[in-house]
A and B are shown apart, each in its own frame.
Chain A
Amino acid sequence: MVHEFLKIEEEGASLEIEAGAVSSFKSARKAMNGVRVIKDGQLSTASFVGEIKEEELLQRCLDTQGGGVPCDYELPKNSQSERKLGEPKLRGLSELHRQASAALEFLRSKNDRFIYSGKAVSQRTARTHSNSQGLRHYREHDEAYWWITYKHKESKSLMDGYFTAQGFSGFNFMDSVQRHLPLLNAFERLLPTPLGMRKVIIVHPHEHLFSKLGQSLRIDRYREGSCLYAGKLGQKIFSDKFSLDDLRDDPSRCVFRPFDGEGTPASAPLPLISKGVFSNLICDLRYGKKYGVPSTGNGQRSFNSNAGLGFNGLALQGGPSSLEQFVQSMDECILVTLAMGGDTTDNGDFSLPVNLAFVYKNGQLQGRLDSFTLKSSVSEMFGPRLLAVSSDPADKNGLNPAMVMEMEVLA
């Protein structure tokens, strides 16, 4: 019998901002415990949110009837590590309150035409992963983040936009405010929407852009042929400018998973698309055994579940020029700062409704656009229509840099 414990302890503080004022304070403390047992080729789990002794949890797992999952792979052995990251600068409510209040006061003094709401959070997470085969990994980090939504006082929308900041070593609230202030000040200058094929900067390229491609990067779906790019491994499928990695240990982008949920080392970025060439698939221990390949460190596991295949931090590689340099270099571009609900059809056609965007001409911020829809396809927007990827994320410590693409603008 092999058993494995995962204990996650979280302790944190947060405050809420409602209509421009701090309305509430919260402290939080949570213990999450999980155990997996492999016995006679069956893997069983038990978990508990709350205080519980390891022996009691292990016994619960052994007593569970009918929960065994077939398991023909081995867990990592004889591996130990301990890492701590971040500084507990913002751990206390007082410091969180001081910084948030100062940033809010600054915002109101610079632009009082908006209603500001949001939340600031500071949290310490300690994770202990151990098994009966000599594995013990401990990692601990402090993380702080906040977000502010803003709504113009004459707007009918629930919110008009947002900005955010995050970091393992705390962050300067004022920095995120000052970066966003020019956009707030341009908000009231509403411009006619320029239709047709346009240069568009997606400031926060995340799941709605990569979801369909992400299916092809999983070894299970790739081998089954149930994804858009099945059979294309090793082939050039996108532009030279498109390189996509799975990050594991990059605190500057808020990714800290030097070992995956199964204990497989995963420190270096895993290149998935390299200069447009489909270069790797993600794999965990289970599929590694099934397909005769090593795990890539992509076994994701919560304290209360068995492991499953997933990304650690799916992120674009930055290009040579900064977002600011791109904006300055283009005669005209649309900067998309808030887009929700986009999706891709099963043949790769993509639509993205945009809630907030701004127009720049020759580097000068011209004004805001009313809501519109962007249209493209996976092969076009990551292929010939991809103009550039910025060297830096729009938000300090953000996961992804901005993407510059030609896309069709629909009213």
Chain B
Amino acid sequence: VKLDCLDRLDLSKFNCDYCDVRVEDVRRTDIGYRNGELLSCDSKPSLGAFLRVYARGRWFYASSTALDSLEEQIKALCATAEGFPGGAAKDLFSAIKPYERGLLNYRGREHSALPLSKKRELCEAYLPILQSDPLLRESSIYYSDYYKVKHFKSSKGVRYAYDKNLAGIYFYYTLKDGEQLFDDYIRASSASFEDLRGLEGKIRDGMAESKLFLAAKTVTPGNYRVLMASSVVGVFAHESFGHKSEADAMLGDENAKKEWAIGSKIASDCVTIVDEGTLLGSSGYCPFDDEGTPAQKTVLIDKGVLSGRLHSLSTAQALGEKPTGNARSIDFEYEPIVRMTSTYVEAGKDSFEELLAKCGEGIYIKDWKHGSGLSRFTIAPKKSYWVRQGKLAEPVLVAVITGSVFETLGRIEACGSDFEMHSSVLGGCGKNDQGPLPVADGGPTMLVSEMQVS
């Protein structure tokens, strides 16, 4: 928990209702190969602080890399607060209980301590397999890792430090047969560097499957029964309902408070969606949020019934609910806002074969490139297959699947027993001007009676 610049700070002495300081120490490595040639190998350390002062009903923030002047910067924020008209004072902090915690789970196993040569060797061992295919036109390998320690101290006696350690390797490639192209990728992420070894079989199988898509035709646009694989369901959970559960979207919206009352039936009985920041080793791991609230398991939908929302201190106060530990920022430059952590659909009972049989005729979405969500969510699939007579059939090219969040949640017919969580060291969630935020998502294979596929 020790950090000199925080140890020296007495946060109780400032002329404000509340203040806190978050210091983030990040050591990141990015390595990139293209067509077998090393293009980049960068170590990227950063050290900076985010300071918050609450005074006269408003927040005043500063982000800075000057860690030797934190006290002066807090004083400056307090002085700034004096110069602006006050807002309505809110009781955001009375429920905060002081604690001091250190969760440095990865000390001694930091990815930042591994030599660059070891990380390069990992990548270069995969080059021959990736480049051996005669249909290959272009290939890239990206390796990325980070070790982050987050320190936090508040004027209410909260002090924590926790660390996070994640590494990932991504294989991108383009196959070409005649004039037909197919871009695809294979990826793996883990809190353990050693888990990134032994992916040769996954690469070979993945590339062999990709070849099937060189002859695939584009789907005829329309509404189809859709079977979504686990990784796609994770994105669906995140984009379709996760963002809707972020309570800042309800601020000032009296109508939403009525329509989204806890206890409302909003999805099929088979749907339970959870957000959980305590999953150690996942990219959504966030044991304390950036306001000092400990993480928890928040059930958002319980068997189709709205059961919870994601909160910061401010949104919890505004809606008369409890903070859930979901106030997060992407790094020391940004203020915490309401975000997801690890969001997933809970497993059901059906096997994959049973779900295929229930699907009958439709489309199986196996993986994805990107997703987004407002009232209408969108997922761009990578590999999709026709489902005919309850069996997987030939590949099909799909640009996007989309649907109304509210209608689609009610059209989920079944969830499989094959639950998986998916982490990522590249990419993440974007909201407002903050992205990518590391999140994880997951779920089982899931059957939806109707979605638009085009």
Contact = CB atoms under 8 A, between A and B. Distances in A.
Nearest to A28: B63
A80 interface: no
Interface residues of A, number: 77
A343 B399 contact: yes
A373 B454 contact: yes
A159 B249 CA distance: 8
A16 B336 CA distance: 12
Contacts of B397: 345-347, 349
Interface string B153-193: 00000000000000000000010100011110000000000
B422 interface: no
A64 B116 contact: yes
A115 B250 CA distance: 10
Nearest to B454: A351
**Residue with the highest number of chain B CB atoms closer than 10 Å, among A21, A47, A373:** A373
Interface string A86-119: 0000000110010000000000000000010101
Given A47-B43, A224-B137, A350 B399 contact: yes
A27 B61 contact: yes
Contact of A343 (B137, B243, B377, B400): B400
A308 B167 CA distance: 22
Nearest to A145: B433
Contact of B402 (A45, A64, A373): A373
B48 A21 contact: no
A93 B60 CA distance: 11
A340 interface: yes
A70 B33 CA distance: 11
Interface string B362-392: 0000000111111111111000000000000
Given A94-B83, A226-B176, A156 B375 contact: yes
Contact of B80 (A25, A31, A44, A346): A25
A78 interface: no
Interface stretch (B253-261, B296-304, B320-328, B440-448): B253-261
A355 B43 CA distance: 40
Nearest to A231: B179
Q: Which 6 A-B pairs have the closest CB atoms?
A: A19-B252, A341-B378, A49-B46, A66-B117, A157-B375, A24-B59
Interface of A: 16, 18-31, 44-51, 64-70, 93-94, 97, 115, 117, 119, 121, 151, 153-159, 220-221, 224-228, 286, 304-306, 308, 340-347, 349-353, 355, 371, 373, 375, 408, 410-411
11 contacts: A19-B251, A22-B87, A25-B60, A48-B46, A49-B45, A69-B40, A226-B181, A346-B181, A346-B183, A349-B218, A410-B454
Interface of B: 30, 32, 34-35, 37-48, 58-67, 76-77, 80, 83-84, 87, 115-117, 120, 137-138, 174, 176, 180-183, 213, 218, 221, 243-244, 248-249, 251-256, 259, 314, 333, 335, 369-380, 397-400, 402, 404, 406, 432-433, 452, 454
